[in-house]
Structure 1
C-alpha cells in the first residue's frame, strides 16, 4: 500500500457537498468527491466512465487542514443569450487563502498511475470549481508502505509563511485531520460525497464515514530561544576580605 499526498492551495477554493438551486455552498475542507474528480480529470477519464471512477473512488481518503482560510460569498448575475432576460441571482461561497494537504491510500500500481497523470494531466486541475485554479502543482509526495495518518504526520506544514509566523512561539502545531473511517471504527460522521457517477444525466453520491483526528507537525517558523549568557560570579565582599588578610 502507498499514500499519495496533494497540496491544495490557491486564492479561492470551493468544495460543495450539496447545492440547492442558485445557492452553491462549500465545505470547510476538500471533499473526497472533489479530489477524486480532479484525479479522474488528470487521467483523462470521461464523465460517464463509472468503471474507471469506481477504481479511484475505492481509494481511502483523508485531508489535513493546514490553513483554514476564510469563507467568502459572491453574487453572480447572468442573462439568457437568446432573449437577454436576466437569470436568477446566483449565490456562491468560496474559501479564500486556504491550504490543505489531501491524501489517498491504495495499491502501489494505481497510485503510480495517478502520480504519473498528475505530472502530465490530461485536463488542468482545479480546486472544486473551474474558476479556482491551484497556486502550485498539486502533487506533493508518494509515500511507500505508509498509511493515511502516518503520511499526513510526515508531511511538513504547508501553510503560508505569514500564517506560520502567527504560531512562531510553538515548536510544533496540532493540525486537524478529516479521515475516512474504516468499517470497524465507530462514532464517525456521515458525509454524502462518496462518488458513484459523474455522468451529467445521473450524478450520484453515497454516504461515507468521516473521523476527525489531529496530527502534530513541526513548525519551521518557530522562534528559537536566544542563547543565554553566563552571569559572572560576583562577591561584593571579596575586596574587603583581601585587604584584611
Structure 2
C-alpha cells in the first residue's frame, strides 16, 4: 500500500466547527474538527449520512491542520419569532447564539492510501453535493485544491508523513505584506493526530461514526498542538513541529 498526503485549502469569510453545540448555543473550535472535515468529504463523494462504512473509511485518514491565518471568533445573535410553546398554549421568541470564525485560513492535511486519496481529491474538485465549512451558509471563498501555478498549490503531495507536509507545504496566506513589519516571522499553530500514549496528547471527541439525524454518534481521538515556522522563512530544509 502506497501512502500519500492530500492537502486542502479551507478559506472562507465565515467557518464554524462546533464541538459541544446544544440547542440555542452553537459553539465553534478555532480550527476544523475531524467530524466537520469528514462531513465535507462525505458530501463531495455523495456519502449518505447513515453509510457507516464510508464514514469510517474517511475518519480513518490521519489528519493535521495548520492554521495559516488565525480567525476571529464572532457571535451571530439570532431571534426566532412565533415559536410554539411546549404546552401548545401560545407562542414565544427564542434567542440563539451562534459562534463562527471570521477570516480564517487553514491548510488541512490527510494521510492515507494514495488511491483512496486520489478518489477524494477528484470528488472535491467535482463534488456530488455542495461543500460548506460547518454550516450551509459558510461556503468556500476559493477552491479547496489550487493549481501549482499560483505558488500555493494543494492536492496530492509526495510527502510520506503529515509532519513533513506541515513543515514544507507553501504558506497559504496571499496577503503576506501584512507581515512585512513584523520583527519575527510568524509561527503557525498546528493540530496533529497522534497516538494516545504520545506525550502532550489531548483528547478530542469528534470522530464521526454516523451522521444519522437524531442518532449521531462520535468517538474519541488524540491530537498534539504544536507550532511550525512559515516554510518560506525556513533555512536548511524542514524541521518537526514543536
TM-score past 0.5 threshold:
yes
Paired residues in the alignment total: 218
User: 1:236 maps to which residue?
Assistant: none
What do you get for the CA RMSD once the two structures are aligned?
A: 2.1
**2:208 & 2:45 partners in 1: Cα distance?**
16
Corresponding residue to 1:157 among 159, 171, 178: 171
Shift of 1:160: 4.2
Shift of 1:188: 0.6
Please identify the structure whose Cα radius of gyration is greater.
1
Query: Aligned to 2:230, what secondary structure does the other structure show?
Result: strand
User: 2:11 maps to which residue?
Assistant: 9
Is the aligned partner of 1:118 residue 2:124?
A: yes
Contact kept in structure 1, 2:83 and 2:92, CA below 8 Å: no
Query: Aligned to 1:89, what secondary structure does the other structure show?
Result: strand
**2:204 & 2:196 partners in 1: Cα distance?**
15
Contact kept in structure 1, 2:5 and 2:156, CA below 8 Å: yes
Contact kept in structure 2, 1:171 and 1:218, CA below 8 Å: no
- Structure 1, unpaired ranges of 5+: 221-245
TM superposition outliers: structure 1 runs of 4+ over 3 Å: 79-87, 169-173
Is the aligned partner of 1:147 residue 2:161?
A: yes
Shift of 1:170: 6.0
Is the aligned partner of 1:103 residue 2:109?
A: yes
Decide whether aligned partners of structure 1 residues 145 and 218 sit closer, same or farther in structure 2, where only a CA change above 3 A counts: closer
Structure 2 counterparts to residues 10-159 of structure 1, below 5 A: 10-79=12-81, 85-139=91-145, 140-159=154-173
Query: Aligned to 2:213, what secondary structure does the other structure show?
Result: coil
User: 2:209 maps to which residue?
Assistant: 196
What is the TM-score when the length of structure 2 is the normalising length?
0.83
Decide whether aligned partners of structure 1 residues 21 and 170 sit closer, same or farther in structure 2, where only a CA change above 3 A counts: same
- Structure 2, unpaired ranges of 5+: 146-153, 234-242
Contact kept in structure 1, 2:205 and 2:218, CA below 8 Å: yes
**2:94 & 2:173 partners in 1: Cα distance?**
37
Contact kept in structure 2, 1:173 and 1:218, CA below 8 Å: no
- Per-residue CA deviation, residues 89-117 of structure 1 (Å, 9 max, x unaligned), is 11100100111111111001110110110
**1:16 & 1:178 partners in 2: Cα distance?**
16
